[in-house]
Structure 1
Amino acid sequence: MKKNREFFVEFLNSISHFIGVGIGIVFLVMMIRSCIKKGNAYTPAFIIYGAFFIFLFLASTLYHGIWNKRAKNILRIFDHSAIFLFIAASFTPVILTVLSGKKMIFFLVLIWVIALAGTIYKILSYGKYDKQKTISVILYIAMGWTSIFLLKPIFLKMPREFLFFLVAGGILYTVGTIFYKMKKQYSHVIWHFFVLGAAITHFIGYYQYLI
């Protein structure tokens, strides 16, 4: 009975982010078409963002959809590392659009160095998932909210509506981590939908105001 319940919960976890894979593919196609149509100079940045959007949800789908213990432990590294990489990919189009010169280079390098450091940390933490869960949550939130350092240039160069979508997505991610930390039966499924909602919220802002 317990195994059946665990299987059902993992099935929901997998399906919830499989939806994200499909949405991500649609979003990527939409962004590429819009970038080409408008002649956006930062098309590669949007392709990277869209690709990591898909990777984030695909890694999660596979991790929760596979039961082999060894395979699951390996896929967990991809699942958790994808979060760091997706955050960096999400920052990239924003940084390129609102910053220039040395500031742009500094923030781009900073955010990708943090993402790579987080990925290495996840690899080195193999088999220590429970012990480093809290640290991971803190790192995810801290990395995401480094966006506060971009608020001034965003405020000066972008429509107020874009800032709304950016902050709203950040709040959804942050509130979602409450459920991520919980040990209730369906709390992780709820976390997954918060992540999906936040990612969609950010995409809407990007598609409407960045491209």
Structure 2
Amino acid sequence: MVHLLGVTAGWSGGVWLVLSRSNSLKTSSLVAVAIYAIAMAGMLTASAAYNLSFGRKLKERLRRLDHACIYAAIAGTYTPLLTRLPGETATVALIVVWAIATAGILLKLLWPRRYERLGLALYVGLGWIGLPMIPALSGRLLADTGPWIAAGALTYTLGVGVYLAHRVRYHNVLWHLMVLVAASFHYVAIGNEFP
């Protein structure tokens, strides 16, 4: 149920976010928002496909895709926000974020059961890589955007703890609920920033 909610909300919300801004945003901002929407909906779809699949071989392939798509979703979330940085700074920040995400994607696709700790560190590290950029972004983002970004980042990070708590009953459901809540916070942030 959680996964079906995520897929439905991810795609319908993403399509609405892009279409409702198609006349108000400049092309580069609209493309950045579309990258975010596709990456987020793609992650939620990959997660649903993996968690609802049957058969060992299929499930293993979908696990690779699911875990790889998390990196794309993190980088996709950063993409519109980093376009608020000035010229070359935005370009460098986007290259760094997507380079790390690409490394993570390759790690999960090529060595899916190896380097699990490295993969987890890359998730969290990529998620928080924007921390040093706060001073540069603070004057460029709308005042209401920052708290939503922070709430999403904290919820994702706390969710990692829940994900790792394998002895906690329903930890997997709780983890995926926290992902939906965190993704919703970031959706509000991006919708607010790009009206």
Structure 2: gaps of 5 or more residues: none
Mapped partners of 2:26, 2:131: distance in 1: 25
Structure 1 match to 2:171: 187
Query: What amino acid sits opposite 2:118 in the alignment?
Result: I
Q: Secondary structure at the match of 1:160?
A: coil
Structure 2 match to 1:71: 58
Structure 2 match to 1:167: 150
Structure 2 match to 1:11: none
Q: 1:166 to 1:160 in 2, by over 3 A?
A: same
1:90 lines up with 2:77 in the alignment: yes
Q: Secondary structure at the match of 2:166?
A: coil
**Of 193, 196, 204, which residue of structure 1 is paired with 2:180?**
196
| 8 Å CA contact 1:94, 1:210 repeated in 2 | no
Mapped partners of 1:44, 1:159: distance in 2: 20
Instruction: Point out the structure with the larger helix share.
Output: 1
**Which structure is larger by alpha-carbon Rg, 1 or 2?**
1
TM-score of the aligned structures, taking structure 2 as reference length? 0.93
1:24 lines up with 2:7 in the alignment: no
Mapped partners of 2:65, 2:10: distance in 1: 17
Mapped partners of 1:187, 1:32: distance in 2: 33
1:100 lines up with 2:83 in the alignment: no
Identity of aligned residues (%): 26
Q: Secondary structure at the match of 1:35?
A: coil
Computed over aligned residues only, the root mean square deviation of the Cα atoms, in angstroms, reads 1.4
Residues 3-39 of structure 1, C-alpha deviation per residue, up to 9 Å, x if partnerless?
A: xxxxxxxxxxxx3122111111221222122322313
Query: What amino acid sits opposite 2:48 in the alignment?
Result: T
Mapped partners of 2:26, 2:3: distance in 1: 29
| 8 Å CA contact 1:168, 1:201 repeated in 2 | yes
When structure 1 is superposed on structure 2, of 72-81 and 36-45 the one drifting more is: 36-45
Structure 1 match to 2:41: 54
Structure 1: gaps of 5 or more residues: 1-14
TM-score of the aligned structures, taking structure 1 as reference length? 0.86
